[in-house]
Amino acid sequence: MITRRDMIALAAATAGAASLGVGPAFAQNVSAAELAKPGPLGDVWVGPETAKVTIIEYASLTCSHCATFHTTTWPELKKRWIDGGQVRFALREFPLDPLATAGFMLARADQSAKYYAVVDLLFETQRSWTTAPKPLDALRQTMRQAGFSQEKFDAILRDQALYDAVNAVKTRAAETFRVESTPTFFINGQRKAGAQSIEELEKIIKPILGA
């Protein structure tokens, strides 16, 4: 069972250690059918099942490059293609440290009812809670903005099954799809590593859409 003390110690020891999140990019693509299989917590999709383009992102909440993507490219991606039904998107957990694991556990609370709201909040405020002297306490303060009481916050981080499920998503990504860095995207099975700009995504998406 994870204790609050365990999480604080682990988070303090690793906060910021993997925030760059850049590693080697692998050229090979993966089976779209295999990639589509959800993890133990399921996927939280944005966009219709009929979309021609499916994007799956593996990200860490403590990765600065992931934060760059979600605060700059993501809003434009959603506006251009997701809201119009051409693209379907899901973010999957690939925590680089225990602090990111804690963040994802919080995002998955209440059957993932506020998944993207919490993820967006944590990316937008990433520096304030990841660089704090006591990052888990800073994370608790940040989550108050999403309506999390101290009791709820602590209860979620004591949920061993949730902890195991979040890390199972990462393990499968590493072992099955050879994900080694964040963010890593799979666009209809095509691998793209690094924080993609909207222009870089457009070069991939437009040909698929026939535009």
Instruction: Show the 3-state SS of 29-68.
Output: CCCHHHHCCCCCCCCCEECCCCCCEEEEEEECCCCHHHHH
Q: Whole-prediction pTM value?
A: 0.87
Q: How far apart are the C-alpha atoms of 63 and 182, rounded to whole Å?
A: 7
| All structural domains of the chain with their residue ranges | 4-209
Write out the two tokens for 166.
């979040």
Contact 196, 57 (CB under 8 A): no
Q: What is the DSSP string of the chain?
A: ---HHHHHHHHHHHTTTT-S---PPP-----HHHHTS--TT---EES-TT-SEEEEEEE-TT-HHHHHIIIIIHHHHIIIIITTTSEEEEEEE--SSHHHHHHHHHHTHHHHTTHHHHHHHHHHTHHHHHSSSSHHHHHHHHHGGGT--HHHHHHHHT-HHHHHHHHHHHHHHHHHS---SSSEEEETTEEEES---HHHHHHHHHHHHT-
* Segment 71-83 mean pLDDT: 97
pLDDT tens digits along 78-136: 999 999 999 999 999 999 999 999 999 999 999 999 999 999 999 999 999 999 999 99
pLDDT at 5: 53
* The CATH fold of domain 4-209: Glutaredoxin (3.40.30)
pLDDT tens digits along 160-179: 999 999 999 999 999 999 99
> Which residue do the tokens 């608790």 mark?
140
pLDDT at 28: 57
Write out the two tokens for 150.
């101290």
